[in-house]
Chains A and B, each alone.
Chain A
Amino acid sequence: MKKTVEKEISVRFENITKTFGSVIANEDITFDVYKGEILSLLGENGSGKTTLMNMLSGIYFPDEGQIYVNGEKVTIASPMDAFRLKIGMVHQHFKLIDVFSCLENIVLGIKDKEKADMRKAAVAVNEICNKYGFELNLAKKVYELSVSEKQTLEIIKVLYRDAEILILDEPTAVLTPLEIRNLFTVLKNMRKDGKTIIIITHKLNEVMEISDRVAILRKGQYIDTVKTSETNENKLTEMMVGKKTTLNIDRTEPVNVQDRLLVEHLNLRNMDGTKVVNDVSFIARSGEILGIAGIAGSGQRELLEAIAGLKPGYRGNVIFNRPKKNLPVSFFHKTYAQVVNMAKNGAFHYEDGTPVSFDGMSPKKIKDLVNSEKVLFNEDEVYNLRNLNPRKIRELGVRLSFVPEDRLGMGLVGNMDLVDNMMLRSYRKGKGSKLNRKKPEALADEIVKELDVVTPNIHTPVRKLSGGNVQKVLVGREIASSPKVLMAAYPVRGLDINSSYLIYNLLNKEKEEGSAVIFVGEDLDVLLALCDRILVMCQGQVTGIVDARTTTKEEVGLLMTSTEKEEEVKENA
């Protein structure tokens, strides 16, 4: 029946172009959003969805083009203008003041004296909460809120400003399945009220579930708008990625599997004393990819940081095992003095089993002997990493490639160029006090070539590269030193599909070369396709280690929330 009614256009983008420096974020975008519909804005990371919506909400100003709201030409120069037009945006990274109460956040910036009055606002906000079924203690400070509560607060904030056009930027990224369902119910109620809702996402199943129509952006360009009822996930992917994707992860059978890293009863508390890693034990094996699944913030990050030596003061053991028995000694990882010293302690033997003694030999003879690979180890090398500092751990070949939200935070230095960033790993090498840039330059060149890093040259500060390219540089550098253990936390966060698969293939290559790879991921499909085993964490605990080849998404999903459910039951009882 609705179809017969002439649809009213709520927002119209006309020839919108926005550039940042030399990067074109949006190019000549034209499309309409109708009143009372939920429109999904679909596209890969970096396709310009957020930029476009930021122009509607007054954060950015378009270089070219025109926005119409309710049929009228408008100029949105600041967020204030957007509010006047009843446009409200819930940003992906919440725009809330941590030290303010919920109510203070809601009235913040409201010019109207009536509406900014705290007491009156409290009443009005409670009405909104009742209407849509939100539950929120308005007196609470924002830093006391959970992620989903923060999002609720953001939505209330927008509603309190009488927004008729709501923009939600990746609202489900941080929510549990149950919270997502609640959010969708709220959104549907809003649609009933005649509000226009634009939801930015790249999760196809959600697009199919919630939206009336889907607008697709690709690399800053507008592709098309389709009715959700007339499309399917495959068609959407094709439009989003641009070509029929033949992106398969080539998972090989593990070869030469050995226990490489034994984590035993690892316990870690964070600064304010809460347990973030709770009695975690597992084994990472060489030639294998161990996936770690879990809702964001379940302790994955802290676990890896502990192993890498960045969180001293944890309890438990991290045993690093390098099988050396009956393998030849080399100077590759040891200095000459170390080798001589170890021989004194009887650490080596000859091929026939007799113990090695270097007594009375000239240094040259010792070197020749070692280089001839006739000197063999007696025992495997076993270290407990708990007592070691990050430098020692790196020297053993444990690498952590880490991608938190600020990918330039821990791995790379934004203001330094590619070459200098390569040197962060090798500046201790070499003699003399003068830096040798030859090798890092060669490495940077190699990474740029092999991984297709888009950069003007290797002397560009990495902060100027896009997220995906920064990630390639980081992972490339970590892999270049052929680590024994490679830990990658969210290595594809913020990358487009093609770059993601490039990273997956790099991890696979490392696995084939005998590294023990630990991969913390978000996308369950990828975890299932890439990993050999998957460790599932929930609230700092291991809720299960499953075989990735036989398990299902449902099983992993259940494990991801298992302790949570137990607690809910306890609370209800």
Chain B
Amino acid sequence: MGDFSWVLVGLIDAISLAVIFLFGCIGETINEKAGNLNLGIPGVMCIGAAGGAVGALVYMKTIYKVLPIDIDAISFSFGSLVSYILLMLFVIIFVTIFAGLSGLLFSFLTTSLKANQNVTGLALTTFGAGFADFIMGLIRTTENKPLFTIASKIIRFHLPFNEAALGQAGMLLLGNGLFVYLCFALAIVVFLVLNKTRIGLSVRAIGENPATADAAGINTDKYKYFATMIGCAIAGFGGFFYTMSHVGGTWENSATLQGLGWMVLALVIFTVWNPLLAIVGSVIFGFLMSLPYVIPGIGFVEMELIKILPYAVTIIVLIFTSILGKKNVLPPGSLGVNYFREER
């Protein structure tokens, strides 16, 4: 038996990546379940990242000055708790507004103006990336940079366990920031809403066959708007988590995040539009992504080969779902098609 401790290290890294994927994947799944093939997700995630950064900065410049948190202290005072909660609220509100508005833009173009979804999505990706780079360049001045690092530490804050006692495996389960748990919980909630509620039934009906949903008395436009906005808001948290947690409050440019965004689109297919499977899928993707950096003594070629794995796995899943052709693992019936009631 060789030494497999790197697996655990890989998994810790994988969880962090998985959260980015999972937020994006849940968001895109909601989009696609309502029939909107939103290729703008990478851009939406970038916009979410910008929103989160703005939110964190506003917090640092206002609340933090009054109620600072000493993250290294073991005890956690009431003041710090209030401050912590306020930071969470700030970023949640800002990410939701930024990313949600990008969803509104997408819906307005595709649902109201009936613009082609693919084109709109690609445009949104380009726009979102540029927008994020612009905002980040604007707010990440030399004096602000340390503030992001502090905010990132608070966001990654977890209850002060005895790391030695828990061990690496224990830390893997318990030593994560709040958003990690929020994300996994959200996947379950979204699954339940989509599959067990009337709202979910209506959303899925629209994605399968909007004419039928319309004839059944469902306001298809309203649902499409809301599904896209909520989906995009959720996906935005993926981008936020990337900058403010995964890379510790830094920002080079939007390229890496965009790349992760494209993988999200693959992940949605990989997990056959099921948020529960998305939990597993995102961890697998995250693990495969972190593998090249944690396997000891690996060469350059092997490293690049392993990096391909997530995409290869997606293609294999596509092949299998297509061959099996079972109706419940196929994409929503009218995915990517705009609906116009009086069309003949």
Contacts and interface: CB of A to CB of B under 8 A. Distances in A.
Contacts of B211: 95
A360 interface: no
A107 B211 CA distance: 16
Interface in B192-209: 198, 201-202, 204-205, 208-209
Contacts of B202: 108-109
A109 B211 CA distance: 12
Nearest to A97: B208
Contact of A95 (B209, B219, B341): B209
Nearest to A113: B198
A108 B342 contact: no
Interface in A109-136: 109-111, 116
A424 interface: no
B215 A60 contact: no
A229 B42 CA distance: 67
A89 B211 CA distance: 13
Contacts, number: 76
A163 interface: no
A83 B216 CA distance: 9
B327 interface: yes
Interface stretch (A98-106, A294-302, A390-398): A98-106
B213 interface: yes
A57 B212 contact: no
A57 B215 contact: yes
Contacts of B204: 97, 100
B218 interface: yes
Nearest to B333: A98
A79 B216 CA distance: 7
B216 A109 contact: yes
A488 interface: no
- Per DSSP, chain A at the interface is loop
A100 B333 contact: no
Interface string B204-247: 11001101111111110000000000000000000000000000
B246 to A, nearest CB: 36
Residue of B198, B325, B330, B342 with most partner-chain A CB within 10 A:
B198
B141 interface: no
B344 interface: yes
Contacts of B62: none
A95 B205 contact: no
Contact of B215 (A20, A89, A99, A111): A89
A99 B342 contact: no
A107 B212 contact: no
A262 B212 CA distance: 44
A109 B218 contact: yes
Contact of B218 (A57, A82, A100, A108): A108
A79 B214 CA distance: 7
A108 B205 contact: yes
Given A97-B208, A116-B198, A20 B344 contact: yes
A272 B325 CA distance: 9
Interface in B315-333: 325, 327-328, 330, 333
Interface of B: 198, 201-202, 204-205, 208-209, 211-219, 325, 327-328, 330, 333, 341-342, 344
Interface of A: 20, 57, 59-61, 78-80, 82-83, 89, 91, 95-100, 104, 107-111, 116, 141, 143, 157, 271-272
